[in-house]
Amino acid sequence: MQNLTIDAQRLWDTLMETAEVGGTAKGGIKRLTLTDLDREIRDWFKAECESLGCTVVVDEVGNMFATRPGKRADVAPIAIGSHLDTQPTGGKFDGVLGVLGGLEVMRTLHALNYETNAPLMLVNWTNEEGSRFAPAMLGSGVYAGVFDTAFADSREDRQGVTFKEAIEAIGYRGPEKPGAVKFSAMLELHIEQGPILEAEGKTIGVVQGVQGMRWYEVTLTGREAHTGSTPMRLRKNALVGAARLVERIDAIAHEHAPDAVGTVGLLEVTPNSRNVIPGQVFFAVDFRHPQDAVLAAMEAKLGAAIAEVADALGLEAEHVKVWDSPPVKFDPGLIAAVRSGAEKAGFPHRDIISGAGHDAAYTARVAPTTMVFVPCEGGLSHNEAESTSFEECAAGAQVLLNALLEYDARFA
C-alpha cells in the first residue's frame, strides 16, 4: 500500500486560521451553534470541501456532509468528522480537530490523486456542545433517530430563540431528511478532554466506548422579598435551596466514586438583585457513569434530595430530565483499525473510555463507529486555555488516515 503522510504544517495552519472565527482575547473560541460566526465557519468549510471535488449536502438540522467519490459507487461512504461549534469559553481543538483533521485527510488524498475503494465523507455535526440548545449532540441525535426534527426545532436558548428560528436565520436549513445521507462507518478524531494520555505518555487513545450521561434541569421557586425587612424565619429563599442541592449533587457523585461524576455548571438567579431575596433559581445537573444502573441510582437520589430540600425551605420544585445518553460500546473492527494505525505510525497508545459525550455515541447506533483520541495539556478542555501540540494534532490525523485506509481495504 502507498505510504500516505498528512501535511502536519498545513493542518496546524488551518487550525490557527479558523480559530480566528470567533477567536477570544484569551486565545480560545466562542462560536456558538447557529450564530453568525457558525454560519461563517460553515461557509468556509463548504468552500474548502468543494475545492477538493467533494459534493456537499446539508440536512434539515444543519448537519453537513461532504462526499469524495471512491472506486465503488455501490458502497456507502466511510465517514470522518466531528463538530465546529464551541462552548462559550471554548478552546481551539475540541471538535474542531476532528473536522480539520478529517479535512487534512481529504487534502492529502486529493493532492496525491489517491482513490479509495469506498467513497469518503467528511461531516460537520450541528450543536454537539449543547451550550446554546440542550441537549448536546442534537444534530447527530436527530440523524440517528434519537430525536426528531420537530424536537430539535422546539429547543430554545436562554434568550428564548428557538433552534428553528436560529437555523433559518443563518440559512443552514438543508433539504435532506436527517438519516437519509448514509455512511458505512464513522471515525471521529478528538482531543481526550481528560488527563490520562498525557499522564501515561501515550500519544493515541484507542477509544472503546463512551460512558453514560444524564442531564437535568431544576427550578426552585420561593418568594421574592426585601432583604432588610424580612426576618430569616419567614423567608423562602430559592438560592439557599439551590446551594444545598449543589452540595448534595456533589455528594451523590462522591458516593459512587471513583467512576461517577456530578456537576452543576449552569445556575441562574432571579431577580438577581443585591437587596432582594432570590425568588427563583434555575440550574442544570450533569451526571455521568459507565453503567446505566449506577446512573439510575444517582437519579433517584437526586429526586429525593430535591424533594427534601424544597420541603424543608417551603419551596416549590420542578425538575426534568432533558437528556439520557446510555453507555456506548464501539465497533471491534474499527477499534482494531485504529490500533493498527497507531502501531504503523509508531505512536504509543492505550485503550480508553471516553468520559465526554461525542457525536460518535449516536452514530454508533446506526453504523460501525469508533474514535481516535490525542492528549490535551493538563487534561483541560471547555476552557480557552485548552491546548494540544503541533505533534499531537499531526499524530491524530495520521492515525485517522491510517485507520481509514485499513478499513477501506475491506471494500477492495
pLDDT digits (tens, 9 = 90+) for 195-239: 999 999 999 999 999 999 999 999 999 999 999 999 999 999 999
Residues 246 and 129 in one domain: no
Residues 242 and 383 in one domain: no
Is residue 88, in this structure, part of any structural domain at all? Answer: yes
Same domain (yes/no): 345, 256: no
CATH of the domain at 79: 3.40.630.10
Identify whether 2 is part of a domain: no
Residue 187 lies in a domain: yes
Residue where a domain stops, chosen among 325, 355, 386:
325
Q: Are residues 202 and 188 in the same domain?
A: yes
Half-sphere exposure of 372 (CA within 13 A, CB side): 37
Region of residue 90 (phi > 0: left; psi between -120 and 50: alpha; otherwise: beta): beta
The residue among 310, 325, 340 that closes a domain is 325
pTM (predicted TM-score): 0.85
Distance CA 57, CA 183 (A): 13
Q: 255-293: per-residue pLDDT in tens?
A: 999 999 999 999 999 999 999 999 999 999 999 999 999
pLDDT over 80 at 3, yes or no: no
Domain end residue (candidates: 276, 294, 325): 325
Residues 204 and 223 in one domain: no
Residues 193 and 60 placed together within one structural domain of the fold = yes
Whether 104 and 143 map to the same domain: the answer is yes
Helices (H) and strands (E) in the chain, counts: 12, 13
In this structure, are 166 and 177 located in the same domain?
yes
| Element spanning 110, H or E | helix 96-111
Whether residue 402 is contained in a domain is answered as: yes
Sheet holding 261-270, edge to edge: 261-270, 280-289, 212-221, 316-325
Asked whether residue 388 is domain-assigned, the answer is yes
pLDDT at 325: 87
Kindly state whether residues 34 and 166 are assigned to the same domain. yes
Q: What end-to-end distance do the CA atoms of the chain give, in Å?
A: 12
Confidence of residue 149 (pLDDT cuts 50, 70, 90): very high
Q: Residue 1: is its pLDDT beyond 60? A: no
In a domain, 117, yes or no: yes
Residue 380 reports pLDDT greater than 60: yes
Residue 1 lies in a domain: no
Residue with cell 419567614: 234
Q: Which of 334, 340, 344, 339 is nearest to 4 (CA)?
A: 344
Same domain, 196 and 301: no
Looking up residue 242, the CATH number of its domain turns out to be 3.30.70.360
Kindly state the cell numbers that stand for 183: 455512511
Based on the fold, state whether residues 237 and 202 are members of the same structural domain: no
Say how many domains are in the chain: 2
Give CA–CA dist 19/398, Å, rounded: 21
293 and 372 assigned to the same domain:
no
Residues 119, 69 contacting (CB under 8 angstroms): yes
Q: Is residue 369 part of a domain?
A: yes
Query: Which residue range(s) make up the domain with 257?
Result: 213-325
For 247, residues 6+ apart whose C-beta sits below 8 A from its C-beta are none
